[in-house]
Amino acid sequence: MPFRRFFGRGNERARPADAPPDDAEEAGKDDDATAQDDDAGTPEWDAGIPEGQSSATEIEGDWRARAAAVIPGGASTGSKQPQNLFGDAASEYPGHFLRASGCHLVTVGERTLLDCTMALGAVSLGYADEGVTRAVVSAAAAGHVAGLAHYLEIEVAERLCDLIPCAERVRFLKSGAEATAAAVRIARAATGRTRVIATGYLGWHDWSNAGPGIPAGAHADVTRVPFDDMVALQDAVRDAARDLAAIVLEPVVDREPSPEWLGAARSLCDEAGAVLIFDEMKTGFRLRPGGYQEVSGVTPDLATFGKALANGYPLAAVVGRDRVMSAAQETWISSTLAGEAVALAAAAAVIERYDSEGDVCARLGEIGAAMRAGVDAAIRASGVGGVRIEGLDAMWQLRFDRPDVERAFLERAVRHGALFKRGAYNYASLAHGEGDVLTELESIASAALVELMEEGIA
Ligand SMILES: Cc1ncc(COP(=O)(O)O)c(C=O)c1O
């Protein structure tokens, strides 16, 4: 009785109106439930908030309370934790969703929101994309794990080698943090050196983070340098001297780097006999299928991909030159489910779509440009100051000078029907280009901003 276990505990009112009933399994066996299911194809538990029940915000608040009681931070993905979505003092906001389709999600309180975050850039086609869903359902039905590696591992690896400039060999993993940690391990194994120079967010693992619970020694051999800072990069390379194993960088951090800096990263690695690694988690299958290396013409030795690669299914890849990737076999990099076929089937469907549907990345750029133009027009028309749009078209962000104005905007945007990302990228998806989504986005942004002016907040 899985639903009784998960929905039958805690505050009864906190149960979303469209959660399956506690006794869903038993209900499925009786005539009544069958009759309801037949009724216009809408299961009883998908019928919306019954009249007289709690408001959307009350239901969402109850779920947040339940989440806070059982999950530190309220969500397992840091950026989806309520205070990271809306800011510490936010009082009214949704934290959890029931379902998502295209670029819309439905909250536990049955509010539909136009989502500009696209699951932190993990989804570029749209939520519950038909082709991807068909592929994963069929992979699941066919048996997605067994005692041998699945054939899709080979097929997707071959396609990645076609699409990504540096890719001659591929290893799959499940998360971006894992893939980037693996790339660093491979670089160290290939060079027999330890020092690493790093730029950007590279995942949560010890080697790339500092903070409670992380021994200082974990990053003793990692030098962080600011993005696009030539002097810092050169100094760090000089300091690492003959022990430099790798420079690992996010090639885009809020903006594109100068060609000189990226070119210097390449030539400094060449001169030092070190490995250049691009973390293409956000840029891959977004700016170009092959990531920023395809845009810049600077080819790293290794690169890591994830997020849009499988349209939200858990898959990441380390790809790179054979002479470096062969070291993956000299060290131990392995995960039980690294090559499970559901996520690989999703990636195969994504690649197929990118192959068959013209230039998907160019389209994402066009749609992103239209999204930011609409929001920018709303900002200008409202007269709200201290807010601007930055970033690239396919991954853009709203920057506020004042956190209180940002928080008030995000809350009001949700009230009017849109979820924007606080302090980080909003991502274009193909779904944002469908129907009247772009008009909807501008009018929601406009309504939220005008309220800020009317209420004297901005
Ligand atoms: C550039 C970059 N690298 C690595 C990661 C970590 O990926 P994951 O969260 O899948 O572990 C992220 C996640 O946002 C990222 O943006």
Over the stretch 69-113, which tens digit does the pLDDT of each residue have? 999 999 999 999 988 998 877 777 899 999 999 999 999 999 999
Mean predicted confidence (pLDDT) in 309-319: 98
350 C-alpha to ligand 1 centroid (Å): 19
Q: What token pair was written down for 161?
A: 């080698």
| Tokens (6 digits) for 405 | 């104005």
Residue 275 near residue 246 (C-beta atoms within 8 A) = yes
| Ligand 1 centre distance from Cα of residue 202 (Å) | 6
Note whether residue 317 is domain-resident.
Answer: yes
For ligand 1, residues with CB inside 6 Å are: 120, 175-177, 180, 200-203, 250, 279, 281-282, 306
**Which residues fall within 8 angstroms of residue 202, CB to CB, at 6 or more apart?**
177, 180, 208, 248, 250, 279
CA–CA separation, 301 and 391 (whole Å): 26
The pLDDT, as a whole number, for residue 53 is 62
- Tell which atom from ligand 1 comes closest to the C-alpha of 250: 1
Q: Count CA within 13 A, CB hemisphere, residue 411.
A: 18
Query: How many angstroms separate the alpha carbon of residue 120 from the centre of ligand 1?
Result: 9
CA distance 306 to 398: 24
Among protein residues, the one whose CA lies closest to atom 8 of ligand 1: 176
Backbone angles phi, psi at 311, to 5 degrees: 50, 45
> Measuring CA to CA, how many Å separate 316 from each of 148, 209, 248?
20, 20, 16
Is there a domain that residue 348 lies in?
no
Give the pLDDT band of residue 286 (cuts 50, 70, 90). Answer: very high
CA of 48 to the centre of ligand 1 (A): 35
> In the prediction, which pLDDT does 111 show?
96
Q: Which domain holds residue 296?
A: 150-339
Residue 20 pLDDT exceeds 90? no
Q: Which of 252, 253, 282 to mutate to test the pocket of ligand 1 (most atoms within 8 A of CB)?
A: 282
- Residue 4 scores a pLDDT above 90: no
- Kindly report the CATH number assigned to the domain that includes residue 302: 3.40.640.10
Query: Residue 87 Cα, ligand 1 centroid: separation in angstroms?
Result: 21
Whether residue 367 is contained in a domain is answered as no
In a domain, 96, yes or no: no
What's the domain count of the chain? 1
The 3-class secondary structure across 292-327, one letter per residue, is HHHHHCCCCCEEEECHHHHCCCCCEEEEECHHHHHH
| pLDDT higher than threshold 50 for residue 35 | no
Q: Is residue 182 part of a domain?
A: yes
In a domain, 36, yes or no: no
Q: What confidence tier does 52 reach under pLDDT thresholds 50, 70, 90?
A: low
Q: What is the mean pLDDT of residues 382-387?
A: 97
Residue 349 lies in a domain: no
Q: What is the mean pLDDT of residues 417-429?
A: 97
Could you give the CA distance from residue 319 to residue 338 in angstroms, rounded to a whole number? Answer: 14
- Residue at 335 is within a domain: yes
Supply the DSSP symbol for 177: H
Q: What is the pTM of this model?
A: 0.90
pLDDT tens digits, 434-445: 999 999 999 999
Please report the pLDDT score of residue 455 as a whole number: 94
Q: Which residue has the higher pLDDT, 5 or 430?
A: 430
Q: What is the mean pLDDT of the chain?
A: 90
Residue type for 341, please?
Answer: A
